[in-house]
Amino acid sequence: MNRRTLLKSAAAAAVLTALPDARSFASTTLPQKKVRTVLGNDIAYVDAGAGRPVVFLHGNPTSSFLWRNIIPHVSGTHRAIAPDLIGMGDSAKPKLENTYVDTAAHLHAFLDEMDIRDAVLVIHDWGSALGWHYARTRPDRVSAVCFMEAMAPPFHPIPSYESLGRFEEFLRNIKTPGAGEKLIMENNFFIDQFLRNDNPDAPLPDEIMAEYNRYYPTVESRRILLDWPREIPVAGEPADVHEVVKANSEWLPTTTFPKLMFHVDPGAIIPMQLA
């Protein structure tokens, strides 16, 4: 391993060693968010510390608050940047005509304007698709990636609903008009059930749930939480997102920059047999 690779791996290791004890998850604070206007809409983001940038990209149904226990450790030696995706968190919530395409346009423009260089991306869920996409199209800006529960080969692209196993019925229901609206928007399943009870032995406490629910006070405000799973490409549809995920998955095995995967069992997006 040459010196450059060692240095890049050290940055990834810094994120790994910053992982807090599981008992510290009850933190309810983040550094003060800043706001930057991108493509006519405000993007809220955390920007703390100085040095090599570490960019944290959340997924659905979370926000930059997902990284509340990591950023204080990383920002001591690095510049930690954590945006709220457009339509989520404290960012503007315009009506998006195409959830993935519009989100990618805003996020990628935001990162371009931040002029990140030699960055480590820390990516999760839809933040992974967006992050891989950014690294693939801006290879001069990204030099290492940490990922978890990420959209990566061989699980993505998803060839069929049947290949989803125990998640087949769930995703079919979400993509069914009427059923998805009731489950995600009316019953707030993603936040009040899935997010709260992801670890049934240690459900998230009320103060944490209050922060995640703060962004979505009405049924209609939760439409973005439904739009995201409907963007999951299965059997080639929706075609535009399928092409992005396919390009990411074909590109990723050809790359040589350091990557660090975190995995838990059972995984949802990356089950054990694929890890």
Q: For residue range 32-74, what is the model confidence (pLDDT) as tens digits? A: 899 999 999 999 999 999 999 999 999 999 999 999 999 999 9
- The pLDDT of residue 275: 82
Under the banding of pLDDT at 50, 70 and 90, the label for residue 251 is very high
Rounded CA-CA distance 199/201 in Å is 5
Render 51-110 in DSSP notation, one character per residue.
SSEEEEE--TT--GGGGTTTHHHHTTTSEEEEEPPTTSTTS--PPPSSHHHHHHHHHHHH
Residue 23 has pLDDT above 90, yes or no: no
Q: For residue range 138-192, what is the model confidence (pLDDT) as tens digits? A: 999 999 999 999 998 887 888 999 988 888 999 999 999 999 999 999 999 999 9
CATH topology of domain 3-159+236-262: Rossmann fold (3.40.50)
- The token pair that represents 226 in the structure block: 């439904």
Rounded mean pLDDT, 224-230:
97
- The token pair that represents 229 in the structure block: 């799973």
What are the angstrom distances between the C-alpha of 275 and each of 261, 263, 272?
9, 7, 5
pTM value? 0.89
- Phi and psi angles of residue 23, each rounded to the nearest 5 degrees, phi first: -70, -10
- The pLDDT of residue 4: 46
Judge if the upstream peptide bond of residue 154 is cis by omega within 30 degrees of 0: yes
Domain map (residue ranges) of the chain: 3-159+236-262
Under the banding of pLDDT at 50, 70 and 90, the label for residue 13 is low
Contact 95, 68 (CB under 8 A): no
Coil vs helix vs strand at 122: strand
Under the banding of pLDDT at 50, 70 and 90, the label for residue 117 is very high
Q: Of the ranges 1-5, 126-130, 200-204, which one carries the lowest mean pLDDT score?
A: 1-5
Residue 119 has pLDDT above 80, yes or no: yes
Q: Of the ranges 7-21, 84-98, 107-121, 257-271, which one carries the lowest mean pLDDT score?
A: 7-21
Residues 164-196 as b or e (16 or more Cβ within 10 Å = b): beebeeebeebbeeeebbebbbeebbbbeeebb
Rounded CA-CA distance 43/38 in Å is 7
Under the banding of pLDDT at 50, 70 and 90, the label for residue 9 is low
- The pLDDT of residue 27: 57
